[in-house]
Chains A and B, each alone.
Chain A
């Protein structure tokens, strides 16, 4: 079996993997990207709509264009890229077992960046009753068929779930001459970005039915119809609202799940709420030298944010690997600094935070990302440690579809060290979004 050594091995060659690899290379590390598909770019390759790069490149790009800018840099930078190569095992000591048409590979890495992305939730996960015919597929798979394979999934389409991929596909299928009958959403609010509701549904007169879900799948061997029904505030079906809609295709856009089965083989702990690794502010998991970024860490709405996060992870991975190498060269370890790990906890109305902990003392600002659990008309971010309020935001509206970010200065973080107990570490920092009464 072929053995290879790199300072940093990046698993996944989508937007996260490429940005992480470029940053690691820039820091002076030797870098490899392992990509399972035939080309770099990941899911961006099938996202042929525009709207990418507005914040990172200050111009509006399509998915493939955004990917291409990074692919060109990766090639120019001299990063080793392994295409059509699948990682089948990852160990705690950062050995990557992979395979491709040339055989099995063992890559030994100083640091690992996990950038495998996410997968779509399926019909089974939400247990839709009925028959199991052809014509029921996830929105991302339909996107692949229409945009890359040049195949129509059907002619009369219903979309369940108002996630961004579903909204984008509603527009795409309409533009390609298919009839999109409607988008159905269980929640009383849309899950996708506002701009997608407007540009993909409203502009094409595609109805969005909130508090409505698919209650039965009808037809065999091919989908013939679905039954939809309204739900009450406890998501119970309102019986007399049941309605059958004839259609030949049901697309599911019902959520994305970070894909961490590989990460778990190396012992990385996950946040049960996001299924993403628990990381510190350097995006390092609880396994030393293993970092995570992009949708494998938590699901993002904008690729520009993925790129920024991945650059930070790539830089941290390179720093870790190069420092370990330097220490090994002189044969001694730098004395461990006296540092504390302060846990971050999702408080009122907050689903999760990334990172899940902050290290103190620090010279760097800590960027905390989170999402609210439900739409809030008028509320404010409040970050507290015990009785002490560290940050108080201005009142405004919040939506679960929008990722929120708050920056804590090094001083704000270091101040907390004083309150740290010598033995038990830091008291948790609680991130909440509290409703404001006017």
Chain B
């Protein structure tokens, strides 16, 4: 049985950021993810805004960690080679009451240490966003705000952690946790037994369930559901800025968000739910998104919607909507990184530092590794290369000359790279998140059979075993006729 200093439970952006942080030190660590890929819970179900930190109440844990985390992003994006854009945020006010609220947010931001915030007038707003609603009067402008692809960030964290020695283990739902007499933990999954000295619980919406396996009942969780939708890259009057309406107490409101890849995301609604597994879209939510975004951008063309999706934000109940990052008071060596709702993407790298300090406090010696490699090689993105580079690449390897996904110009070479990557893509959606094959306007109608064939060939599995995402999500059954397997 393998013993680790640390086992991290949960491979979302929080867990992978923690794995990445741990990989900098002389210790042994493993990350257990219950799903078939990294970043497929709350991480893939949000808009990707790295909130700069004007929103949380000054003095809260969230306020501190939000700003710290957002400040870490530019360097991380460079070192780990993930996409990041800097569109800034407008929070739009329509009334005098809104202006008061915006000034309030400005104060929050200044107190929290957010740089370059300003209230701007209608002309200044329209200079940048000419299609804003006519009744928009003023905005809080946060020019430092960035946007990332959250699952790309999680994959980047996990890949760098793995390259620096952390074991990243997929399809490992934790079924039992036992605290032993010597203080160490015994962890069971359906096909493994592992032991460790410290547990970091980054299990997202299931953090309370994981804690209860260790006999901890310090908090309860419920998901706050959000519907989101994606618009085609090819759309007139695309916004250049992340645009929020003036926030209400329970939500930042329905925003439109330019993505790293040139799409526009509209999201999200906010409804407390009971079911932690129902990552569904709801008709009233989708309608609320369309109505909501039209209040900000009346001309936005809803016929350009190419996909709807949903996310469940993990909320720790009776915790003032704050994060819950602490060592358990009842079981020593068990660290919670729970309740990581919005702005979880922005906060992730700072949560990782906080958890490092908690581990250090709990007695784990954190000695920096001299051979730690902070860099992650940039993967080949054919569409981003110059024509001469493309030509040279095809001559090197003809697989880069075969387009599989026409909408996003993704080549077979890139798909093979993803399947054999540091964190290998084993499913259609894992390939999609890494390469964008199937992410475009035809939503894989033209390329799915090709990607299934490539996965089948590269993994040595029958096509009827290839899954969309989770176990049991095979897209195809057996042969129509004849003896073909």
Q: Which residues of A contact B (CB under 8 A)?
A: 1, 36, 84, 86, 88, 97, 99-104, 119-120, 122-125, 127, 129-135, 137-138, 140-141, 144-146, 149-155, 176, 215, 220-222, 261, 264
B277 within 8 A of A: yes
Given contacts A101-B402, A119-B442, A140-B445, whether A132 and B467 have CB atoms under 8 Å apart is no
Given the complex of chains A and B, what is the CA–CA distance between A99 and B484 in angstroms? 33
Partner of B234, one of A138, A140, A264: A264
Chain A residues closer than 8 Å to B409, beta-carbon distance: 86, 88
Chain B residues closer than 8 Å to A132, beta-carbon distance: 279, 281, 309
Chain B residues closer than 8 Å to A103, beta-carbon distance: 391, 394-395, 401
Given the complex of chains A and B, what is the CA–CA distance between A104 and B402 in angstroms? 11
Given the complex of chains A and B, what is the CA–CA distance between A100 and B308 in angstroms? 33
Chain A residues closer than 8 Å to B278, beta-carbon distance: 131
How far is the CB of A252 from the nearest CB of chain B, in Å?
A: 9
30 contacts between A and B (CB under 8 A): A1-B388, A88-B409, A99-B390, A99-B403, A101-B401, A101-B402, A102-B401, A103-B401, A104-B391, A104-B394, A119-B441, A122-B445, A124-B308, A127-B229, A127-B281, A127-B286, A129-B283, A132-B279, A135-B475, A137-B445, A141-B445, A141-B448, A150-B479, A150-B484, A152-B476, A155-B477, A220-B279, A222-B473, A261-B234, A261-B407
B321 within 8 A of A: no
B401 and A145 contact, CB distance less than 8 A: no
Chain A residues closer than 8 Å to B444, beta-carbon distance: 141
Partner of A215, one of B230, B283, B390: B283
Chain B residues closer than 8 Å to A145, beta-carbon distance: 449, 476
B458 within 8 A of A: no
Q: Which residues of B contact A (CB under 8 A)?
A: 229-230, 234, 277-283, 285-286, 303, 305-309, 387-388, 390-391, 394-395, 398, 401-403, 406-407, 409, 441-446, 448-449, 453, 463-464, 467-482, 484
A141, closest chain B residue (CB): B445
Name 15 extra pairs, CB < 8 A, besides A151-B479, A221-B473: A99-B401, A103-B391, A103-B394, A104-B387, A104-B390, A119-B445, A122-B307, A127-B308, A129-B282, A131-B279, A141-B448, A151-B464, A151-B476, A152-B476, A176-B481
Chain A residues closer than 8 Å to B277, beta-carbon distance: 220
Partner of A129, one of B286, B395, B441, B442: B286
B401 and A100 contact, CB distance less than 8 A: yes
B281 and A130 contact, CB distance less than 8 A: yes
- 7 smallest A-B Cβ distances: which pairs? A221-B473, A124-B307, A101-B398, A101-B401, A221-B470, A134-B473, A86-B403
| Residue in B281, B453, B481 whose Cβ sees the most chain A Cβ within 10 Å | B281
Chain B residues closer than 8 Å to A124, beta-carbon distance: 229-230, 305-308, 443
Given the complex of chains A and B, what is the CA–CA distance between A119 and B398 in angstroms? 27
How far is the CB of A82 from the nearest CB of chain B, in Å?
A: 12
How far is the CB of A11 from the nearest CB of chain B, in Å?
A: 12
How far is the CB of B305 from the nearest CB of chain A, in Å?
A: 6
A140, closest chain B residue (CB): B445
| Residue in B406, B448, B471, B484 whose Cβ sees the most chain A Cβ within 10 Å | B406
Chain A residues closer than 8 Å to B305, beta-carbon distance: 124-125, 127
B403, closest chain A residue (CB): A86
How far is the CB of B85 from the nearest CB of chain A, in Å?
A: 22
B480 and A176 contact, CB distance less than 8 A: yes
Given the complex of chains A and B, what is the CA–CA distance between A131 and B390 in angstroms? 39
B309 and A151 contact, CB distance less than 8 A: no
A102 and B394 contact, CB distance less than 8 A: yes
A99 and B394 contact, CB distance less than 8 A: yes
| Residue in B280, B282, B403, B480 whose Cβ sees the most chain A Cβ within 10 Å | B480
A153 and B476 contact, CB distance less than 8 A: yes
Chain B residues closer than 8 Å to A150, beta-carbon distance: 479-482, 484
A122 and B443 contact, CB distance less than 8 A: yes
A262, closest chain B residue (CB): B406
Partner of B442, one of A100, A101, A120, A222: A120
B480 and A134 contact, CB distance less than 8 A: no
How far is the CB of B139 from the nearest CB of chain A, in Å?
A: 29
Chain A residues closer than 8 Å to B286, beta-carbon distance: 127, 129
A134 and B281 contact, CB distance less than 8 A: no
Chain B residues closer than 8 Å to A137, beta-carbon distance: 445, 448, 475
Given contacts A120-B442, A221-B472, whether A151 and B477 have CB atoms under 8 Å apart is yes
A124, closest chain B residue (CB): B307
A248, closest chain B residue (CB): B477
Chain B residues closer than 8 Å to A176, beta-carbon distance: 480-481
